[in-house]
Chains A and B, each alone.
Chain A
Amino acid sequence: MEPLLELKDLCISYKIYEGRMKVIDKVTLTVLPGEKIGIVGESGCGKTTTMKSILRILPPNGRVDSGQAFFKGKDLLKISDTDMQRIRGNGISMIFQDPTAALDPVFTVGDQLIAVIRYGSKVPINRREARTRAIAALKEAQMPDPERIMSNYPVQLSGGMRQRVCIAMALATEPELLIADEPTTSLDVTIQDQVLRLLHSLVERRKTSVIFITHNLGVVRVIADKVNVMYAGTIVESGHTQEIFTNPLHPYTVDLLAAMPRLSGGGLEERVPGRIPDYLNPPLGCRFQPRCTKAQLRCSLEKPKLVEAKPGHFVACFLEAGNE
């Protein structure tokens, strides 16, 4: 199957006063049509930066240094601004972490939804038609009383409701790829459960491809078919969700899972010393090497590539895969 999105050796850096932070280091990622991909990693590992670079919404001090991002065969990093603008919302939509900041406080939910629907529509439609579609989108997002919600301002809604509006908005233009950046992090656990179930059923029905970014391993297990584990700007392990959780190979993934407190008791194991490396002077070899308990000399000199250790299970570690 032709991939919908393909990132190849993406490198991104940020310019700050002290120099250039080499944040993203050769990220490679493939999303097939209809696939739900999870990217999981700690804060500051570059999950959001990677996604922003695809939509070309990096902050002014950020820059893609090398690599390609193909969306349906076109390199998103090369196409014109007008072409890019057509893809945003229409081909690729994004849901952000904080629904309060994502919605404009001075326009009603209805105004914002209608604007997005009219803008994203392939054929010109009038306001009334867009309004009907907006109400349908809210209904589909299981909003009670969508007519009333249309005339509400975002502040009049709860956090969970606001995120439902954002989901309705992101999916109203029928995008082929949905990027969800920690969409449930700011929500309470019972609301998170509802929103995750909603998102799951909506994308299943439309066969939308999803990239789901989160720091919560439990959430990614619920939503994703495949998981990419990210550490300090590199993808260290990737494979089918079940496989990653039952059979993690990379020392970082193993340690991350061991640190999770378990509902059945246990977990909270403290194995990883230190903190994420300094992006101004990242380690020469494997970026996890300074914190890795199994590191060898080779790890500090050479960067391991993502290699297929088992069918469909990729890992970037000299110990787990020959890595020539």
Chain B
Amino acid sequence: MNDKMPILKISNLKKYFRTNAGIVKAVDGVSFIMEQGETLGLVGESGSGKSTIAYAVAGIYAPTSGQIFFQSFDISRPATKRSLSIKRSIQIVFQDPGTSLNPRRTIEQILMLPLNVHRIGSPKERRDLVYELLQKVQLPRDYANKAPGMLGGGERQMVAIARALATQPQLIILDEPTSALDVIIQAKIIKMLLTFQRELGLSYLFITHDLSLMRNVATRVAIMYLGKICELAPALEFFQRPLHPYTQMLLSSIPVVSKEEESLKPKKIQSRGEIPSPVNVPPGCSFHSRCPEAKEICKQIDPPMIELPGGHFVRCHLFS
């Protein structure tokens, strides 16, 4: 088997938030392993906890319990308590480049900051490194003196990607990097991300709600619902044999543009109900309130994660 150390290992991660309405279990016992060089697609609807996982890995949140390992290092703590070299190795790209770039800084200052913090290159070389970064994301040199507000949404996101690349990271967390952009720009950015991955051997933790996009980008896909993973499988297997009723509901809800895609959608299951409030998660399997195949046991016992052949994991009583 693979004796290479996984780049990221998350075991039984929990992140709870205390709110006025009660305790929100945003992430409730999530475990997975990411291999070096892979793209793990973390897919879910709003409130499923996918971004909370991303933020815990990036060190924006400290986990309530559970462990996060980056290679052999335990990083289950906020970024302020991580070593500089770990911080350098893990970078994040946010959804909205309009708010993730400081509007009062020039692009040069934005790209210079990580170089200064991590002491990459000599102070003299850093300006050239900034130009190199711009060139990498196919932006003209004179953009260095512009402010983010003068750029289009797609160009801003490229700056954000360049900033993430500045520290030569090993793992990049992509938190819906293209969901605020038009499809034509999305195609451009995704192509670019895939090229960087190939050239630099990067690993991507790709957070998204777009399954069609994941079909083309991810090596493995994990589906989240109310703070838990309900299905995880290699991408091809996942789209050919979606097992969990929630996955099937998601797939059948996607509006597609061709007959070929239409034939891939599970026909039997139609979307119904809404995600319950994360403050009041239903007992048993949290999906039972919307599940067309729910049985008595689903209302009482939360199903365990089961491994099926081909690295296909599913958390549903139908398969136990």
A interface residues, Cβ below 8 angstroms from B? 42-43, 158, 160-161, 188-194, 196, 215-219, 221-222, 245, 255-270, 272, 275
Contact = CB atoms under 8 A, between A and B. Distances in A.
21 contacts: A42-B183, A189-B211, A191-B271, A216-B255, A217-B257, A218-B254, A221-B255, A245-B257, A258-B187, A259-B183, A260-B212, A262-B215, A262-B216, A262-B257, A263-B254, A263-B256, A267-B187, A267-B212, A268-B186, A269-B187, A270-B191
Contact of A42 (B184, B188, B191, B271): B184
A20 B257 CA distance: 37
Contacts of A218: 254-257
B311 interface: no
Interface residues of B, number: 41
B2 interface: no
Pairs A-B, 4 closest by C-beta atoms: A218-B255, A193-B253, A188-B45, A42-B182
Interface of B: 45-46, 152, 154, 182-188, 190-191, 209-213, 215-217, 239, 249-258, 260-261, 264-265, 270-272, 274-275
Contacts of A194: 271-272
Contacts of A259: 183-184, 186-187
Contacts of B191: 268, 270
A261 B184 contact: no
A215 B182 contact: yes
Most buried by B among A161, A188, A266: A188
B187 A263 contact: no
B274 A256 contact: no
Contacts of A256: 183-184
Nearest to B192: A270
A315 to B, nearest CB: 18
A124 to B, nearest CB: 38
Chain B residues touching A, majority SS: helix
Given A215-B183, A222-B255, A275-B154, 9 more contacts: A189-B209, A189-B211, A190-B271, A192-B253, A193-B270, A262-B257, A263-B211, A268-B190, A270-B187
B257 A221 contact: yes
Contact of B261 (A161, A258, A263, A269): A263
Given A256-B183, A263-B265, A188 B275 contact: yes
Given A188-B209, A262-B212, A264-B261, A193 B271 contact: yes
Given A216-B255, A245-B258, A268-B216, A263 B182 contact: no
A264 B260 contact: yes
